[in-house]
A and B are shown apart, each in its own frame.
Chain A
Amino acid sequence: MPCPFEWKTTAPRIIIVAAWLKRFGLVLALVIIVAALGVAKPGYLEFGNVVIVARQISINAILAVGVTFVLLTGGVDLSLGSLVALTAVITAMFAHPGAYPLIVPLFLGIAASMACGACNGVVITFGRVPPFITTLGMMTIARGLAYVISGGRPTADLSPAMKRIAGDLAGIPIPVLILAGVALATWVILARTRIGRHIYAVGGNENAAHAAGINVRRVKMFAYVLCGALSGLAGIVLVARVESGQPDAGLGYELDAIAAAVIGGTSLSGGVGGVGGTVLGALLIGVISNGLDLLNVPYYYQQIIKGMIIIGAVWLDRRNATRI
């Protein structure tokens, strides 16, 4: 019997197909669910409902993109729900009609979240405290700050300019446009720039990245600060949408964001994943909960179904990973 002397000629093609299937699988699932809903509920595919879904997912998707960066470095950020609240409170405080130009509340709101993200980064990189613990602490700290600053009360009475952020532009909701911009910019960062490549390297093998001359601390700082900034952005969108800044806003958002990233194929151990998958993951969650709403499935049951989808998606992902 002759020896097979070729050097793994067939393996890569199969891997490319598998990679496509993995990405395509998510799209396929989405298409099937949408088609099923379209049949079950006439009117589901109407433009109006599509816009509603897109608007609903925009906040979670922005957060999920932020947390994707942190997950890619091999970390985790549990504080972003609280950062949403902190930004919401601060933004609302400075957004009363006739008080300041719109740029002031926006800037202060995002700056607050970025500062918290930077604190996370410093404690994790210089203090060597595990990300889980650090951001768990920050989750409580930022929430507390939001209560202190607001006195525990929602801040309403916002300027029309502030409210317009949740409005439409040429028939498309502005939050959706913001999400599109965020997704595009972050995709470019991850896929086309040096810092993006470094993020994958640090998450893939931190020691090897260090030995390759990469400033690991700077890369991690970048991820946490960016995650903070995007949490702030999500907070602003939330304020505009609910027309008030509430200190108990964003409870549990971090878990939805992580779930979207994970469903989208981002690995919790770092180095694998991307923005495209994360946005698809957020879309899948959004479409399913919207569909369940339309089918009049009670909210409590929706929670159970969502949990099963999260586990199921990762389970399928794992099965693919071990086969290769």
Chain B
Amino acid sequence: MSDLLLQVRHVNKSFDGTQALADVSLDLRVGEVHALMGENGAGKSTLMKILAGLHTPDSGEILLRGKTVSLRTPAQALRHGIAMIHQELMPIPDMTVAENLLLGREPCGRFPGWIDRRALRTEANRLLSPLHVELPIERPMRNLSIAQMQIVEIAKALGHEARIVIMDEPTSALSERETQSLFVAIDVLKRRGVAIVYITHKMDEVFAIADRVTVLRDGCHVATRPAADLDADALIRLMVGRDLREIFPKPCAAGKEIVLSVRGLTRAGAFRDISFDLHRGEVLGLAGLMGAGRTEVASALFGLAPAKTGEILVQGRPARIRKPADAMRWGIGMVTEDRKGQGIIPAMNVKHNLTLAALADFCRGPFIRRRYESAVAEEHIRGLAIRTSGNRQAIAELSGGNQQKVMIARALLTQPRIVILDEPTRGIDIGAKVEVYAIIARLASEGRSIILISAELPEIISLCDRVLVMRQGTLAAELDTAHATQEEILKHAMPV
């Protein structure tokens, strides 16, 4: 086959005795978008890091146009035309867009070491023009949105004459419209004969842009199929290895008793005049587009970013919540959206992460009752089926889904009556999502009230009793999920 660009043959890789990849093979054709799917820990990232020269395989070989190549450093991979666009972008924020774009390849001026600024601008424009975007190339990088930074990364890959571009969950922080413009850029790459490896968790994206799909599970290659031959159910089956007949548990009936009332909550620039009630045992959804103010309202209720005006009443009593410790005293717990930034403490082990918020309950005077702490930690590790080798394992080694369960356990240990879950299933694999859904249903059946923020509307509709739709910082609608459709929610969420 003449259009065969890259072949990965029988690659094995293990870390400290854990097999991350077992006998994995993959081939890439010229001008295709090849989606790489699998649960977290399936080995997608390891495989891609091998291609990008960040890891060296234990065995197996990589062939580029039929010739064996060695990819031991990112520089080597780049010389062979393989560029990786990382999940967390790494621009230099105070340098201009043009400077970032040509980082390491600055055009030289008259004297060696001098930079020819005019050539820099021309070259930057030349790289950006095929991507159909207008970017302020003379402005510092920090002014760009994440989506724009991604476009810069793609342009950078073009500048390196990349023939293979690896994208690791590029849309995880993008809005719908930004995703579309990313797809346009991907199309440009395709037409230039670039092969794109596209890692994602989102089904709809796979069917929108991928030509072929490869599924990995537990470090093994499961299947490679044309995307046209698959549907979402078949894909899930391949990824999880079993049928998911019942993904969403039934919501149980909410009580009548009001546990939380919010009246006229306002913080300038974030949200205004938010009023709603939350009932005992209710799962209340908070829907809306990115930037509509959902997280901001949740942060205000939990004291992370207090509201300026308005009232919060917990079981009829006005609550002054200025910091998270206040919220916890009022029986409010929260699992934040930003698990890395505001959730886990990576250097600590699972047990210490788990008990952190409720540590006072494990103390006699200033001293921690360590045996009691271990016992309770063990209980929650079992109760939430957290997969860990022991409560002393470093939390950074856990998969995203298991880290998330530790965060939920941390919030639950403070005995909250109201639990705020901000995007609890973002970036975790399907198996873990199902477990999180079951936990939500169980909490509600225990009589706790839940505020669920999610960008995935099927989650909102299936799990919640009621949904509040936010639009540009205000409450646009309150819908009963028994009758609401995704279209209806979206209609209210769209800016007018």
A7→B350 CA distance, assembly (Å):
15
**Contact residues of B between 326 and 345, Cβ < 8 Å to A:** 327-328, 334, 336, 341-345
A residues less than 8 Å from B352 (CB atoms): 197, 200-201
A residues less than 8 Å from B17 (CB atoms): 9-11, 14
Q: Is A111 an interface residue (CB 8 A)?
A: no
Are A195 and B219 touching (Cβ within 8 A)?
Answer: no
A207→B15 CA distance, assembly (Å):
30
Q: In the complex, what's the smallest C-beta–C-beta distance from A210 to chain B, in angstroms?
A: 6
B residues less than 8 Å from A192 (CB atoms): 367-368, 370
Q: In the complex, what's the smallest C-beta–C-beta distance from A212 to chain B, in angstroms?
A: 4
Q: In the complex, what's the smallest C-beta–C-beta distance from B56 to chain A, in angstroms?
A: 13
The B contact surface, by secondary structure, is: mixed
Are B15 and A193 touching (Cβ within 8 A)?
Answer: no
Are B394 and A15 touching (Cβ within 8 A)?
Answer: yes
A187→B23 CA distance, assembly (Å):
48
Q: Is A12 an interface residue (CB 8 A)?
A: yes
Q: Is B480 an interface residue (CB 8 A)?
A: no
Q: In the complex, what's the smallest C-beta–C-beta distance from B14 to chain A, in angstroms?
A: 9
Which of B183-191, B260-268, B384-392, B423-431 is the contact stretch? Answer: B384-392
Q: Is A235 an interface residue (CB 8 A)?
A: no
- Which residue of A3, A4, A210, A212 has the most chain B CB atoms within 10 A of its CB atom? A212
Q: In the complex, what's the smallest C-beta–C-beta distance from A184 to chain B, in angstroms?
A: 14
Are B366 and A212 touching (Cβ within 8 A)?
Answer: no
Are A4 and B19 touching (Cβ within 8 A)?
Answer: yes
Q: In the complex, what's the smallest C-beta–C-beta distance from B363 to chain A, in angstroms?
A: 5
Q: Is B357 an interface residue (CB 8 A)?
A: yes
Are B368 and A11 touching (Cβ within 8 A)?
Answer: no
Are A1 and B324 touching (Cβ within 8 A)?
Answer: no
- Which residue of B325, B341, B347, B370 has the most chain A CB atoms within 10 A of its CB atom? B347
- CB-nearest residue of chain B to A6: B18
Are A201 and B356 touching (Cβ within 8 A)?
Answer: yes
A257→B251 CA distance, assembly (Å):
59
User: Known: A10-B17, A10-B18, A208-B341. Contact between A193 and B336, CB under 8 A?
Assistant: no
* Chain B: number of interface residues, binned into ranges: 35 or more
Are B357 and A213 touching (Cβ within 8 A)?
Answer: yes
Are B363 and A194 touching (Cβ within 8 A)?
Answer: yes
A residues less than 8 Å from B392 (CB atoms): 12
**Contact residues of B between 342 and 375, Cβ < 8 Å to A:** 342-348, 352, 356-357, 359-360, 363, 366-368, 370
B residues less than 8 Å from A195 (CB atoms): 366
B residues less than 8 Å from A276 (CB atoms): none
Q: Is A291 an interface residue (CB 8 A)?
A: no
Q: Is B434 an interface residue (CB 8 A)?
A: no
Q: Is B380 an interface residue (CB 8 A)?
A: no
Are B359 and A200 touching (Cβ within 8 A)?
Answer: no
Are B360 and A194 touching (Cβ within 8 A)?
Answer: yes
B residues less than 8 Å from A201 (CB atoms): 345, 348, 352, 356
Are A8 and B389 touching (Cβ within 8 A)?
Answer: yes
Are A211 and B304 touching (Cβ within 8 A)?
Answer: yes
**Contact residues of A between 173 and 199, Cβ < 8 Å to B:** 192-195, 197-198
Are B22 and A4 touching (Cβ within 8 A)?
Answer: yes
Are B414 and A213 touching (Cβ within 8 A)?
Answer: yes
Are A15 and B341 touching (Cβ within 8 A)?
Answer: no
Are A213 and B342 touching (Cβ within 8 A)?
Answer: no
Are B324 and A211 touching (Cβ within 8 A)?
Answer: yes
B residues less than 8 Å from A210 (CB atoms): 304, 323-324, 342
User: Known: A10-B16, A192-B367. Contact between A212 and B218, CB under 8 A?
Assistant: no
Q: In the complex, what's the smallest C-beta–C-beta distance from A257 to chain B, in angstroms?
A: 22
A residues less than 8 Å from B163 (CB atoms): none
Q: In the complex, what's the smallest C-beta–C-beta distance from B73 to chain A, in angstroms?
A: 15
Are B342 and A211 touching (Cβ within 8 A)?
Answer: yes
Are B389 and A213 touching (Cβ within 8 A)?
Answer: no
Are A212 and B389 touching (Cβ within 8 A)?
Answer: no
Candidates B220, B357, B388, B394; contact of A212 at CB < 8 Å: B357
Mask for B387-426, Cβ within 8 A of A = 1, else 0?
1111011100100000000000010001000000000000
- CB-nearest residue of chain A to B355: A197
Q: Is B217 an interface residue (CB 8 A)?
A: yes
Q: In the complex, what's the smallest C-beta–C-beta distance from B322 to chain A, in angstroms?
A: 12
A209→B344 CA distance, assembly (Å):
9
Q: Is A300 an interface residue (CB 8 A)?
A: no
**Contact residues of A between 102 and 124, Cβ < 8 Å to B:** none
A10→B16 CA distance, assembly (Å):
7
B residues less than 8 Å from A15 (CB atoms): 16, 393-394
User: Known: A200-B345, A205-B345. Contact between A11 and B18, CB under 8 A?
Assistant: yes
Q: Is A272 an interface residue (CB 8 A)?
A: yes
User: Known: A10-B17, A11-B397, A195-B366. Contact between A209 and B387, CB under 8 A?
Assistant: no
B residues less than 8 Å from A198 (CB atoms): 359
Q: Is A215 an interface residue (CB 8 A)?
A: yes
A193→B218 CA distance, assembly (Å):
40
A residues less than 8 Å from B344 (CB atoms): 205, 208
A192→B364 CA distance, assembly (Å):
11
A195→B217 CA distance, assembly (Å):
43
Sampled A-B contacts (18; CB under 8 Å): A3-B22, A10-B16, A11-B389, A14-B17, A192-B370, A194-B359, A194-B360, A194-B363, A194-B367, A198-B359, A200-B348, A201-B348, A201-B352, A201-B356, A211-B302, A212-B357, A213-B325, A214-B356
Given A9-B389, A194-B363, A198-B359, 15 other A-B residues pairs in contact with their CB atoms under 8 A: A8-B393, A194-B360, A194-B366, A195-B366, A197-B368, A203-B347, A205-B345, A209-B345, A211-B302, A211-B304, A212-B324, A213-B327, A213-B357, A214-B356, A215-B323
Q: Which residues of B contact A (CB under 8 A)?
A: 15-19, 22-23, 217-220, 302, 304, 323-325, 327-328, 334, 336, 341-348, 352, 356-357, 359-360, 363, 366-368, 370, 387-390, 392-394, 397, 410, 414
5 cross-chain pairs, A with B, having the tightest CB-CB distances, nearest first:
A10-B17, A204-B345, A213-B325, A212-B357, A4-B19
